[in-house]
Structure 1
Amino acid sequence: MTELINIKGIGKTSLARLNQNRIMTVDDLIRTYPSKYRLNEIKSIHKMILNEEITIEGTLNKNPLVYYIRKKLTKMKLSLLIEGKNVDVTIFNREFLKNSLFVGDLLVVTGRFQTPSQLMASDIVKKQNYLEGIIPEYKLEGISSKLFSKWIDYALHYQFVQIEERLPEYILKKNNLLEMNRFFQVVHHPMTLQDVEQSQNRIKYEELLEFFLRLEIMKSEHKDTFIRKKHYDIHKVKEFVSSLPFELTEDQKTATNDIFRDLKSNRQMNRLLQGDTGSGKTVCAAIAIYAVVTGGEQVALMAPTELLALQHQRTLREYLTPFGVNIAFLSSNITGKDRDLILDDLKRGQIDLLIGTHSLIQENVEFKRLGFVVIDEQHRFGVHQRKALRQKGLSPDVLFMSATPIPRTLAITIFKDMDISSIHSIPPGRVPVITEMIQYESVKASLDRMKDEISKNHQCYVIVPLIEGNEESSSISIDEAFELVSNGLPKGIRIGILHGKMKSQEKESILQSFYKNQIQVLVSTTVVEVGLNVVNATFMMILNANRFGLSQLHQLRGRVRRSQTQAYCHLVHDGLKEEESRLDILCKTIDGFEISEADLKYRGPGQIFGEEQTGIPRFKMANFVLDQQLIQIAIEDASLLIQSCDEKSVELKKQIGKTFETYHLD
């Protein structure tokens, strides 16, 4: 096979950049499809519709002005004469264009009109450099779409890679799909919008077919496991439920009944309990844990982070210790004699409930009689980790919990082998968080709100996407955020920093100080996304909110939705219109299921729930929400292929089988 370095125009530097983009072979090159297509068509200003993208041309009639808003964020303003009308144009992070633009230049501008005379631009180019037609755009770091397109043309023209059709002919004809050789020409150089639609349809179909074939293989390899029914003391369980300081919501009652129905059956429980942060999943798990303990069996609860595991320890000790449940905690930080004592007690059956992180799956962790496993934030664990914990007992019942709600239609499609319980309602008395979008230029409004909350003796979070900044990214680092807050608040306010690279003891010290209100403002990365329950925290400012997915932002916002006090969340962003429309969803709803569905439309399930953890690939094109018709076709065809014995079908199943472990399907 010809190597990338043999393609004209690819030298050592270009090769390194390709490798950084996970393009290692010529096959990778031609299978890197356009992320979108740009229809380059210059229109008259009279066809302008406010807030809809348009490409127009005009003459520069004033020298551009550049404003430096903050580190790695600039704004350039231009004035254009367009069809006899003056239009003010604004574009971000294009300050390098200033020295190449001169009064009298004819420019082509793409963007959205915010008013009839103000345009927010996404691209500016001189007229002589503008290409009309359907232009493919590739989402690559450090490589222009124009250059990448040339390399693909060269590879295809000189047949640097052997293109083989892997779909059976009857599948191609049945679904009117492009044959592979024709597909590569069309996807990288469409002549018409119909070409774009046909090529995208082939990509979507193949992605979905491969995914559902994996599910079919999974179904054929995993059968129901039958076990001895659980025995528990129903009177003690009722006494425990009656002791709770609140009434269960209807959703909690339904979910608890689902779990107990599984416990009483002779089929191994394999249930997903999902619900928003603060919806009361842990209480449902606590009731089930207590029931299993009354039957003389042990329980393991595994969480992905020490922070979340410690929170579970606090909550479950409060619920269960008064009822005689012996609870122990295990993490990598517990060593020596303390660890040995826990492991010995566990093996002898002296510990009823063991709570911990990945430490629970180590070989020397042995239970006497493990009957029930609870795995929280299950999508953060790989399949092998989940499987290792299950194997600590003789087919224990397993309850998975997730605070990232999955729309039911998607959950049923993906988790075919799993029963699902959903908690939609929030315990009464909780006040919805007021969420607002704030442009970075107006960040003072957020700092003023923070001052107001601190004056009421409340606490605040400031969230950033990165620990450290870099030259390529315009994201604010944790140190820059600390400086912003320190300079914007009165002296004497106690500010702490928390991130994942800190040592456990240091993190625990910061957290304890925040719990005790010794720290009033906590500047943190997403390490606080789950597991932190500080009811006195009533304000959160999320910097570079546009860098997060909607579901993750909703999870973060849940940190200040812990009491009956009004809480606020400010989404600070860079002012791009398309980001505003996405973030606006969070301002309009607090329903995690609705937010998750919106996130699926924008990003796809692999990015929300994780590729390795759930087995949901990061599709290049297919969308589980928007492509429902194609999904049904792919499901039917996967079922046909799994039974088919023709040469192409058998070969395709072999290829899927080889990559089966890569996707970690459970």
Structure 2
Amino acid sequence: MTDDNTFDWERLHKALAVEAKNGYSDIVGNQYRFSEFFCLTFGKVPPQTTLEQEKRWRNLAIEFSNYGEKTVTERQQLIVKASRLLKEVQEGKTDTPTSERKPLATKSPVANSQANLDLDQPLRDVPGIGRSRSNSLYRLGLETVRDVLFYYPREHIDYAQQVNIADLVEGETVTIVGTVKSCNCFTSPKNKKLTILQLVIKDRTGEVKLSRFFAGTRFAHRGWQEKQKRLYPRSAIVAASGLVKKNKYGITLDNPEIELLDSPGGEIESVNIGRVLPVYPLTEGVSADVIRKAVITVLPAAKKLQDPLPTPLREQYGFPTLSEAVTNLHFPPDHDTLAHARRRLIFDEFFFLQLGFLTRRQQQKETQQSAILNPTGKLIDQFKQFLPFSLTNAQQRVVSDILQDLNSETPMNRLVQGDVGSGKTVVAVFAILAAIQSGYQAALMAPTEVLAEQHYRKLVGWFNLLHLPVELLTGSTKTAKRREIHQQLETGELPLLVGTHALIQDTVNFQRLGLVVIDEQHRFGVQQRARLLDKGHSPHVLSMTATPIPRTLALTLHGDLDVSQIDELPPGRQEIQTTVLQGKERRQAYELIRREIAQGRQAYIVLPLVEESEKLDVRSAIEEQERLQESVFPEFNVGLLHGRMSSQEKDEALTAFRDNETQIIVSTTVIEVGVDVPNATVMLIENAERFGLSQLHQLRGRVGRGEEKSYCLLISGSKTDTAKQRLGVLEQSRDGFFISEMDMRFRGPGEVLGKRQSGLPDFALASLVEDQEVLVLAREAAEKLVFVDKSLEDYPLLEEELERRYRKLMGSTILA
């Protein structure tokens, strides 16, 4: 766009093409982001637009302003819409909006003759499927009619949109109807096993050459090729569906599906042409056609599905029945009907998960009793007096939540989320002291020795002032010390034990365990947490995480927990200046480290690997420490810390760094949580693009803990736009919850939690990134239902479906 109200159309089309080529990632240009550029573009209307076009033009400005909120599919559709309108206005054309076009006449794929099928009928007994096809479907885990009905498409291709040939837009999936101008079928001169069918199709607006490819020697037979030519004689009417692409010969459809029609408005019989086409997950030896035909065969049986959702609830949210939703998910008549069906079935997945969480929590409240822990007392009062700082408003709010929970026979099951440095440990101490002053013991379990020892150091400092003993139990604890701890636990002399997985060993027995605190609890499995809880009689549970989790992810993982957030940092925490650097700028980073050390400060240098990998071009911690010590910082002491070191070696390395005997420590992510050295002011992270955003945020939190200005330097070895955008989030924000949300959008929820962490439900349709609004809706609906009928006795179908779905989603151990 230029300033004189003329438009650089070529530049606009090129920008749209570049964004599509880069995966609709909202690329960053010299001046603007892609979405910002087009928001400005469509904010200024060209003079040659019609009134209808002007309205669509201005609407596109609004849509591009919300580009960041859209899914990839929605972005793709928006770019196609923008490209079409640009072309219309540029060429002075008028066009009928897609929503007003006459729909294609397509024959319903469903055969009502199979309506008498039983939902639990084996596929081998279904006419039209038989033993051979049922064996293929068995490879996908499909054994019954019901299995096929609930084998959802992973996506849909929308061929329901019919367009004129002159209006084909690259990247769009469409159907064209026209007459055959010429047909040729021949063997490729470059590959004797490849046969090419070429048709030139024309309509009143133009013509297009289409090519279909057939691999195999049987298609190279002259007789077969001549038959294809006779099938598509000159002036025959055909419908063709496919993805619009541009090649060196011009615009075309990519290997399209083609069908002969009786007339220009004739009914299309093919399952693959002129409709919203389902695309199913496949496996080796099972083709898309086998699955589609099986679905078409059993789809009439969907009418027998009983809808477990109460009718008032379904009508309140405007959902179709289960039968309608399943039918329209597989073969919808149009895109709107598909969206309606998907929303209903996604709601079901979320709803039954949340209902399971809430009913399980309700059962715990009714069947389990915990000790009532006194929220007021001498120890808590003394601790408040000893603290050299005042609690933030957020900390006070969370402490109040916790103490209120503890003053009840219902077991507390609360998760405290807090950003790096928000002060979660001090909040946990109030709960621990409430247990101790009420005559109970407490346990604090952390996932690593480094983190457990960090907690122990803090707690020893506070508990000495209160004249209370506290011990540390890890895999490195000596045998004699271990026996002493075991004995003190059993006699009740030891009120608090801090440790790692060592706490869940059979030899660890508490006399009176009343409170369990689990830090970074998502790093422990369900069974590990359960084993610790079994060491007491329904103890209260306080979970903590320094990895902020987006609300939707927290609801999905921890729907049966009460969640508190410490969303405020203590005063005095320093702003951390975050900068993304390329490898060639590493010298600048070293100069900053040198300046900071000259002023008495210290620095971390973090790498992703311990030893050099032949497959990944990343610097290893061991070799990098040697290089830095010998060649870059010979005047300083450079330490080393990584996960393969023994506990004693780790302790010695950390102690040397805490005492400033080593000014620089080269480390892997073992220092991600639990290391507190206020004198460290520089965090340099090599190959930062290989870390998740949440993990980088955690690492950044190791600095900025003292009074001096701190720096986080992210050195990236990638020049891709996606890597730049991801790391740019760290430059722009220190809000851990925002960063975690963005991390989930970039990498997906499983990766945000670390290495496909177990515990995430396996949804067939729902996406925690794209369907967050439906999840919140489902949670609210489940809460209302449980409030009205805690036992679900009035909803037997709902109760039956809950049992089936919740077990399938979360696994039987969750319900145990």
Query: Cα gap change, 1:630/1:446 in structure 2, threshold over 3 Å: closer, same or farther?
Result: same
Q: Of the candidates 448, 463, 468, which is equivalent to residue 325 of structure 1?
A: 468
**Structure 1: 5+ residue stretches without partners:** 11-22, 38-46, 55-123, 136-144
1:577 and 2:577 are equivalent in the alignment? no
Matches within 5 A, 1:31-42: 33=154
Matches within 5 A, 1:14-413: 33=154, 152-153=287-288, 156=291, 168=306, 175=319, 204-205=346-347, 207-209=349-351, 211-212=353-354, 214-215=356-357, 218-219=360-361, 221-224=363-366, 225-231=368-374, 234-407=377-550, 411=554
Query: Cα gap change, 1:328/1:581 in structure 2, threshold over 3 Å: closer, same or farther?
Result: same
Query: Cα gap change, 1:268/1:413 in structure 2, threshold over 3 Å: closer, same or farther?
Result: same
Q: Which amino acid aligns with 1:156?
A: I
Deviation at 1:469, TM superposition (A): 5.8
Match of 2:50 in 1: none
Task: Report which structure shows greater RCO (CA 8 Å, sep ≥6).
Answer: 1
Scaled by the length of structure 1, the TM-score of the pair is 0.70
Deviation at 1:344, TM superposition (A): 0.9
1:455 and 2:598 are equivalent in the alignment? yes
Task: Give the secondary structure class of the aligned counterpart of 2:701.
Answer: helix
1:601 and 2:745 are equivalent in the alignment? yes
Task: Give the secondary structure class of the aligned counterpart of 1:560.
Answer: coil
Q: Distance in 1 between matches of 2:777 and 2:325?
A: 18
Deviation at 1:528, TM superposition (A): 1.0
Matches within 5 A, 1:521-536: 521-536=664-679
Match of 1:657 in 2: 807
Q: Which amino acid aligns with 2:365?
A: K
- Preserved contact between residue 214 and residue 660 of structure 1 (Cα < 8 Å): no
Deviation at 1:386, TM superposition (A): 1.7
Q: Distance in 1 between matches of 2:157 and 2:702?
A: 36
1:590 and 2:699 are equivalent in the alignment? no
Task: Give the secondary structure class of the aligned counterpart of 2:385.
Answer: helix
Deviation at 1:129, TM superposition (A): 13
Q: Cα deviation per residue 1:317-372 (whole Å; 9 max; x = unaligned)?
A: 00111211111111122242221111011111111211101111112211112222
Deviation at 1:296, TM superposition (A): 2.7
Q: Which amino acid aligns with 1:661?
A: G
Q: Distance in 2 between matches of 1:257 and 1:220?
A: 22
Q: Cα deviation per residue 1:364-387 (whole Å; 9 max; x = unaligned)?
A: 211112222211112211222222
Deviation at 1:606, TM superposition (A): 4.0
- Preserved contact between residue 373 and residue 406 of structure 2 (Cα < 8 Å): yes
Deviation at 1:493, TM superposition (A): 3.1
Matches within 5 A, 1:462-477: 462-468=605-611, 470=613, 473=616, 475-477=618-620
Please identify the structure whose Cα radius of gyration is greater: 2
Q: Distance in 2 between matches of 1:505 and 1:621?
A: 48
Matches within 5 A, 1:538-549: 538-549=681-692
Match of 2:572 in 1: 429
- Preserved contact between residue 353 and residue 805 of structure 2 (Cα < 8 Å): no
Query: Cα gap change, 1:636/1:511 in structure 2, threshold over 3 Å: closer, same or farther?
Result: closer
Deviation at 1:301, TM superposition (A): 0.8
Q: Of the candidates 476, 480, 502, which is equivalent to residue 645 of structure 2?
A: 502
Q: Size of the alignment, in residue pairs?
A: 558
Deviation at 1:536, TM superposition (A): 1.5
Bigger mean CA offset, 482-491 vs 229-238:
482-491
Bigger mean CA offset, 457-466 vs 414-423:
414-423
Q: Which amino acid aligns with 2:364?
A: H
Q: Distance in 2 between matches of 1:514 and 1:266?
A: 46
Q: Distance in 2 between matches of 1:206 and 1:425?
A: 35
Task: Give the secondary structure class of the aligned counterpart of 2:365.
Answer: coil
- Preserved contact between residue 373 and residue 434 of structure 2 (Cα < 8 Å): no
Q: Distance in 2 between matches of 1:488 and 1:503?
A: 27
Q: Which amino acid aligns with 2:354?
A: F
Deviation at 1:249, TM superposition (A): 1.7
- Preserved contact between residue 615 and residue 665 of structure 1 (Cα < 8 Å): no
Q: Percent identity?
A: 36
Q: Which amino acid aligns with 1:582?
A: R
Query: Cα gap change, 1:202/1:437 in structure 2, threshold over 3 Å: closer, same or farther?
Result: farther
- Preserved contact between residue 540 and residue 557 of structure 1 (Cα < 8 Å): yes
Match of 1:117 in 2: none
Q: Which amino acid aligns with 1:588?
A: Q
Query: Cα gap change, 1:535/1:654 in structure 2, threshold over 3 Å: closer, same or farther?
Result: same
Deviation at 1:473, TM superposition (A): 4.6
Q: Distance in 2 between matches of 1:233 and 1:201?
A: 48
Q: Distance in 1 between matches of 2:588 and 2:397?
A: 43
Query: Cα gap change, 1:198/1:251 in structure 2, threshold over 3 Å: closer, same or farther?
Result: closer
Q: Cα deviation per residue 1:30-69 (whole Å; 9 max; x = unaligned)?
A: 97947999xxxxxxxxx99xxxx99xxxxxxxxxxxxxxx
Q: Which amino acid aligns with 2:426?
A: V
Q: Which amino acid aligns with 1:563?
A: G
Match of 2:589 in 1: 446
Deviation at 1:201, TM superposition (A): 5.4
Q: Cα deviation per residue 1:250-295 (whole Å; 9 max; x = unaligned)?
A: 2222222222222333332222222112111111222332343233
Deviation at 1:584, TM superposition (A): 2.0
Match of 1:616 in 2: 760
- Preserved contact between residue 606 and residue 667 of structure 2 (Cα < 8 Å): yes
Bigger mean CA offset, 27-36 vs 247-256:
27-36
- Preserved contact between residue 542 and residue 572 of structure 1 (Cα < 8 Å): yes
Q: Distance in 2 between matches of 1:134 and 1:543?
A: 45
1:515 and 2:658 are equivalent in the alignment? yes
Q: Distance in 1 between matches of 2:609 and 2:365?
A: 43
Deviation at 1:496, TM superposition (A): 2.9
